[in-house]
Each structure stands twice: as structure tokens, then as C-alpha cells.
Amino acid sequence: MGIDPQIKEFLAKQNQSTVSYDTLTPEEARSTAVKLLKATKVFDVKTVLDTQTTGPRKVPVRWYVPEDKSNDAPPVIVYFHGGGWATGDLNVFDALCRALAHHSRAHVVSVGYSLAPEHKFPEGLEDAYAATSWASEHAADFGADPSRIAVAGDSAGGNFSAAVSILARDRSGPRLSLQILLYPVTDYESDQTGHSESFKQNKEGYYLTAAKMEWYWKQYLHSPAQGKDPLVSVLRANDLTKLPPAVVVTAEFDLLRDQGQAYADKLKAAGVSVQYKCYPGQIHSFMGFAVTQYSTDVGLQALADVGQQVQEVYQTA
């Protein structure tokens, strides 16, 4: 179908950018994310509470309780925001988490994990795991069901969602019942490792560029050698058995499309139940943009689709 007409104006502005990723600072990148993802569509929820986890890691979290009253003890979705491991925070992704709580009828716990480059791999991931454990332990305190814990995330947050699922299995908890991976990073691609077809096709002109992806990797990893770690490149993990069912979303004009689909395929081959969909005409972060001025009808529908999938998994529809 080609690129979604609703995105064309946004891409035209993005493609006029003169940002140099050789000199870009994390502070500049974070400031850009705040402006780009300014919310224009805010879904109502019943309660929002800012708090932090207890234990060795004090991780900021924001707990959303949906307005829906038909579910006495709703499931919990622990959400890891995108931003290349280096940008984004609880405020930037507030509207997206509200939308997810609204559509899924689940509690959503947004995690303010430590950002790179100040906190490189595996610091942010360990924050994500600690927050998931804490949410599982305290779900009942918030009126949610501790036996129905999901993890979710977009882009780098999708990477965390997949990696936390592996850690939870290998560390014998917490027990997770769903992983939601929205256009996730699943593999470290470089000129040395080679690139997928979607990377080659979409490396320029579609918001997430090859240059931007390279900058993100430099922030997150101590060295390129860490790209081989299966908790960085989950696609390279030898064992994907006994992981929670997965919802995997990709976008047609995203350089990460093929690695997201490859991970979905590998999960299926390992016996994991997978729901996979590639949304035509869309770019990376299209679901995050759905609650901003750059919204598309497809992006809004995708948010509703994922919420419906959560309801079906947990039989709360």
C-alpha cells in the first residue's frame, strides 16, 4: 500500500533534520524525544500513582489503574518504554500507558529504568527485572491479580520485555503469563554482523535510521562485543522454550521489521504461542505516535488491537 499518507508530512519534516549523530549528546536526544512525543490524546484512567520499588534497586514506577470496573482483580502489564535505552521517561510515555490501560482493562506499571550512557548494559535491564519482580509481589496491594503478570515494551523497551521474560524463566520468577513486544530490538545489527533486508530497505527516510540506531547502540553497550550477549540480542538466545506467550507487532517501513518477525518465528519454533502482526504502511514508533499530533488511524487501531489481545489472553473481554 506504500507509506501511510497520514505520516508523509511528519516524515518530510524528519528528513529535513540536520542532526549529526557524531556530535549528538544524550541530553539533546532526550529533549527531542520530549518534544516529539508530546501527547495530544490522553485516555482517562481511574488512578495514577507515582512510587518506587523497594529492595536493593530503587526504580521509579508509575502505576495506572483503569476505569473499567468489570474485572475484580485485573492483570498487570509492566511496561518498559522505548527510546534506544537512552531517552524517554515516565512522563514522555504517560499517554501511551494510559491508552494501554484503557484498551486492555489491565493495570499498567510504567518503569523509569536507568538510561544509557550513564547506565550501560545491563543496568537498565536489571532495573526492568527488579521492577517486574516488585510489581508481581505487590500486585494484590493495588487490587490486581499477582498470578497474571505481563511484560510489555516498545522498541528498546520491547528488547527489555523479551530479555526480562528470559531472566524470569532462568531465575525462577516472577512467573510471567504474557510478553508484548512492539517493534522490538531483538538483534545487534552492524556492518560487521550484516543487515536484514528490512534494515537495508528502510535505513534512511523512515524516522528510525541506521545512523540513529548506531548512536543508540553506542550509548547502551560498553563495546560492540556485548552485542552477542543473548540478553542484548535475544534473537541469538539458544533456548527460547518455556517462555510466556507473545504478542509481537512490527511495522512495514521499519528497519527492525525483519528481526522482530524472526524473533516471533523463533519463539514459535520453540513451542511458544505467538500472535504476530506487521502493520502495513507504518513506521517505527507508530503506536507511540498514535497519542501525539502525528497519530495515524492505523496506530490508534493497533493500540486497540493489543488491548483486545490482552483481554482475550486473560479472558477479561
Active site residues: 155, 254, 284
**Buried-state track 17-55, b at ≥16 Cβ within 10 A, e below 16:** eeeeeeeeebeebbeebeebbebeeebebeeeeeeebee
**Buried-state track 84-102, b at ≥16 Cβ within 10 A, e below 16:** bbbbbbbebbbbbbbbbbb
Q: What dihedral do alpha carbons 280, 284, 289, 293 form, nearest 10°?
A: -80
Local structure of 17: helix, strand or coil: coil
Q: Cα–Cα distance between 156 and 158 in angstroms, integer? A: 5
- DSSP secondary structure string, 129-152? HHHHHHHHHHGGGGT--TT-EEEE
Could you tell me which of 75, 48, 44, 43 has the C-alpha nearest to residue 61? 48
Q: C-alpha cell of 312?
A: 482475550
Q: Cα–Cα distance between 82 and 109 in angstroms, integer? A: 14
